[in-house]
Structure 1
Amino acid sequence: MTTINVPSRDQVSPANQALFDNLKKGLGKVPNLYATLAHSEHALGNYLAFQNAKSSMTGKAREVVNLVVSQVNNCEYCLAAHTVIGGMVGFTPEQILEIRRGGASFDVKLDALAKLVKSMAVERGHADTSLVQAFFDAGWTKENLVDAIVIIGDKTVTNYLHGTTKVPVDFPAAPKI
């Protein structure tokens, strides 16, 4: 089996070196999965632009999507990273585990989001129509639906990247469920 390394700053292009510098300033490090994207001249910059684009889904809602999709795709790396981020946006460890299972009984709106996202991820975009209706009934909009789907795409990219490369996880391991 070919091992995919995590490139260091001196092993990537000048454009990616600048992105590494910005990531280190903002996050204190360059996460291994981001560094792995830098094997491509363009992937890291494109991914960061995609991930940081404006969205109607922010904060807790974005983390619900990230956690649910990462659980469905069984991505050890993204579950670890988003467990940390989920705590930073205010979820308790128990709430994070519940979200990963596809629900959020502690918040009606986030519960509808989690259930819909799980359906979309499991069914590869063919969501249960009753869950789409429950999402709207909970107060979400058509804009929110489209933006949630974009976040699913974003998270699927990194889930697949880790699933294929198996680069080392550089966040505390997420609890098993």
Structure 2
Amino acid sequence: MAEFTTYSIETAPAGSQSILAKAKSKYGYVPNLLGNMAESPALLEAYVTLAGIMNKTCLNEEERQVIMLTNSRLNECGYCMAAHTSVSQMADVPTDVIEALRTDRPINDVRLEALRTFSVAIHQTRGNPTEEQINAFLSVGYTKETILEIVLGTAFKVISNYTDHLTSIEIDKAYAVNAWSIAQTQVA
């Protein structure tokens, strides 16, 4: 398999340097995900742009993390599972919700469980959920806008999850405590 470089601000291609500098300013370090994405300035820019757009959705942070963790688990992305677990903890997402998402178990909160279940349906059907799945999702108070924002979240996670698969990203020290593997997922 091809070896990819985890770039620093100084070693990154010119088109990626300012994006990495902004990340370092925000986090205090350059996350390895972004360092690996820096190989392609266009990919890196797309990812950070979509991250900002995700924050403009009608979804709150807990709901966004449900979508992120659900897709990262389905795509078996250890890096993103560790990172989004850490982000969820910092955002005070309840521990039982995080654990359910990491182990593919139902969430006790009916509305969040509907979000998790519908996110799975969007992912597994490649955007072709049944009318019954759509109606079940809408019946708990979500909207058509939310349906399309799940599509956005799914696309956002494809970028990072596939990058992890291709480039074998080393988990940052900040996320290491939340390392994850598919073996932790409940077998259905």
1:7 to 2:13 alignment: no
Alpha-carbon offset, residue 102 of structure 1: 5.7
Alpha-carbon offset, residue 15 of structure 1: 3.8
Conserved? CA contact 2:96–2:107, under 8 Å: no
2:29 and 2:105 map into 1 onto residues whose CA distance is 30
Unaligned runs of 5+ in 2: none
Deviates more, 1:130-139 or 1:85-94: 85-94
Report the identity percentage. Answer: 27
Residue 89 (structure 2) aligns with: 87
Q: In angstroms, what is the RMSD of aligned CA positions?
A: 1.6
Counterpart residue identity of residue 130, structure 1: E
1:138 to 2:114 alignment: no
Counterpart residue identity of residue 24, structure 1: K
1:2 and 1:13 map into 2 onto residues whose CA distance is 18
Unaligned runs of 5+ in 1: none
Q: After the TM superposition, which parts of structure 1 deviate over 6 Å for at least 4 consecutive aligned residues?
A: none
Alignment of 1:71-150 (within 5 A): 71-100=73-102, 101=104, 103-105=106-108, 107-150=109-152
Counterpart residue identity of residue 121, structure 1: H
1:125 and 1:102 map into 2 onto residues whose CA distance is 22
Conserved? CA contact 1:79–1:174, under 8 Å: yes
Alpha-carbon offset, residue 52 of structure 1: 0.6
Conserved? CA contact 1:103–1:112, under 8 Å: no
Residue 26 (structure 2) aligns with: 26
Counterpart residue identity of residue 2, structure 2: T
TM-score, reference length from structure 1 = 0.91
3-state DSSP class of the match of 2:45? helix
Conserved? CA contact 1:102–1:115, under 8 Å: no
1:102 and 1:72 map into 2 onto residues whose CA distance is 13
Alpha-carbon offset, residue 126 of structure 1: 2.3
1:133 and 1:99 map into 2 onto residues whose CA distance is 23
Residue 151 (structure 1) aligns with: 153
Alpha-carbon offset, residue 157 of structure 1: 1.1
2:141 and 2:122 map into 1 onto residues whose CA distance is 19
Counterpart residue identity of residue 32, structure 1: N
Conserved? CA contact 1:7–1:39, under 8 Å: yes
Alignment of 1:161-172 (within 5 A): 161-170=163-172, 171-172=175-176
Q: Deviations over 1:67-119 (max 9, x none)?
A: 000111110010000111111222233321212416322x2211111000012
Q: Deviations over 1:116-141 (max 9, x none)?
A: 00122122222243222111000011
3-state DSSP class of the match of 2:165? helix
Residue 47 (structure 2) aligns with: 47
TM-score, reference length from structure 2 = 0.86
